[in-house]
A and B are shown apart, each in its own frame.
Chain A
Amino acid sequence: MFSLASIATMAACLFLFGVFYAVIANFRAMISKAETRVGFTVFFDEGISDEEIAEIGEKITYRAEVSEIVLTTADEAWEQYKSEKLSPELIQTFGNDNPLENSASYTVYLNDISMQESLVRYIRSIEGVRKVNNKKDVSESLTSINKVLTVLAIAIIIILLGVAVFLIGITISTGVSIRKQEISIMKLIGATNFFIRIPYIVEGILIGLIGAAIPLIILNFSYGVIINALQNNFALLLSGTDFVDSGSIMKVLIPLSIGLGVGIGFLGSNITLGKQLKKIEVKT
């Protein structure tokens, strides 16, 4: 009876844990993708030669935290500007001149966003660099959302696990009180503590195992279905979002959930047993 309630609670806890994990994993994937998509732009001194630009490019690429740099030539910049901002009549007036002659730039992409500040400092110090457009704000706010989410998840999980330990404690202490007489006789006959404890510890661990297996099975089946439904129904909103695939979620979630379940089961039963068994005396 009570063990069913415990299994249900444990399953609910670990299910929530799994959902949280899946959401966070996806969110983190999105953030890190966004982070690497957010580059910053490096402009050069007026009248700089193509060779000098290439040299600066080499210096930047040499840094370990840089994943990629993309060169936008002055002509490309002008073409892009023309197509985006100007009407054909206006373009006519420029003829073959390029008013953005000095607008060649590198866009720098990072593989480690936390290194951005020091990299920007370094690039500014390179000779021939006029200006670095630092989009610090975007990356910082993304990173802080990431942090808040993780802290929130950890807090919720700790609370849930506390509840699970408490419920297993109740299950075990009911089990012990039902068998008080039996245990008291066992003590009298010379049963070791280990012998008396083992069935309850097994019970606790089983609760943990079953409580972990149920949500894992549910999550395994529903994850793909939910991702599919999301992609089909909100195609526009989610375009370009790559969801983390079910396999790599489960690869982490299975050992983590089972470990948590078994750990909580063991801990919950062990703590309670210590208290409960002390109460049972051999009455004479």
Chain B
Amino acid sequence: MRKIELERALSGEIEPPVIRLDDVCKDYDDDMHALKHLNLIVNKGEFVFVVGSSGSGKSTLIKLLLKEIGPTSGKIYVMGKDISRLKKNAVAKYRRNIGIVFQDFRLLPEMTVFENVAFAQRVIETPIKKIKRDVPNILSIMGLSERLDAHPSELSGGEQQRVALARALVNNPMLLLADEPTGNLDPRNSWEIMRLLEDVNKRGTTVIVVTHNKEIVDMMQKRVVHLNKGVLTNDYEKGGYSNVKN
């Protein structure tokens, strides 16, 4: 079924997929093959979980999509464009289309909640007026309207991750990448983040979530891509975590 979609996309019959990996390999060195011959298509508006045991290459996949590293072989297309051909300066512009969230939040401790989110807009030279409008807006969606002036150290883990999510989303990316966004959170906060990610996805952003959380994956019934030692072993349309033994 996926194969047919690939052919249609290639022939230009449908809108190019948001992500298309063609036979991508990533070797860190001669005997460290992090990803092996990966083929993957993610269409606009999809919500995809990427699961697999530690060292299976999930973060490597995220890094490739961010163009933080390049593939050893194979091609990566994002929105129909071969990202290996991006010039150095175009990489910055390319990343503006992608929101990213990490397990460890990566907030700037000396900035307030508002400033942390505004930072993402300042960096891409958004006019102040728009910043003053957008930042409170996205923070209220994240349920943080009361904490604009707090510093990250004064927030719970869940709140910090919601700030990070606000920062990732304030520029309206068409693709959101999340590398274990609930890795440091308790179940209640994990669900809260997942609910927000689902909301974002419903509003049109393509979402890719790397996670180890079986329960969430099983409950949410989204597409699930399994990696095992760098090989894509399973790809379920509405799959769970548990129906594959790793």
Contacts and interface: CB of A to CB of B under 8 A. Distances in A.
A binds B: yes
A185 B59 contact: no
Interface in A173-191: 181-182, 184-191
Nearest to A192: B92
Interface string B74-105: 00000000000000110011111010101000
Interface stretch (B41-49, B120-128, B190-198): B120-128
A91 B139 CA distance: 113
B123 A195 contact: yes
B236 interface: no
A193 interface: yes
Given A185-B108, A185-B119, A191 B92 contact: yes
Interface in A150-199: 181-182, 184-193, 195
Given A181-B108, A284-B68, A284-B102, A191 B124 contact: yes
Given A181-B108, A284-B68, A189 B95 contact: yes
Contacts of A193: 88-89, 92
B159 interface: no
Given A181-B108, A284-B59, A284-B179, A189 B66 contact: no
Interface residues of B, number: 25
A282 interface: yes
Contacts of A186: 119, 123
Contacts of A195: 123, 125
Nearest to B125: A195
A188 B66 contact: yes
B106 interface: yes
A76 interface: no
Nearest to B64: A284
Contact of B123 (A191, A281, A282, A284): A191
Interface string B53-81: 00000010011001010000000000000
26 contacts: A181-B106, A182-B108, A184-B106, A185-B106, A185-B108, A187-B92, A187-B95, A188-B66, A188-B100, A189-B95, A189-B167, A190-B92, A190-B93, A190-B94, A190-B96, A190-B123, A191-B92, A192-B93, A193-B88, A193-B89, A195-B123, A195-B125, A281-B68, A282-B63, A282-B66, A284-B63
Interface of A: 181-182, 184-193, 195, 281-282, 284
Interface of B: 59, 62-63, 66, 68, 88-89, 92-96, 98, 100, 102, 106, 108, 119-120, 123-125, 167, 171, 179
Query: Would you list the 7 A-B pairs with minimal beta carbon distance, nearest first?
Result: A190-B96, A190-B95, A191-B123, A192-B92, A282-B68, A189-B120, A189-B123
Given A187-B95, A282-B63, 12 more contacts: A182-B108, A186-B119, A189-B96, A189-B120, A189-B123, A189-B124, A190-B94, A190-B96, A190-B124, A193-B89, A195-B123, A195-B125
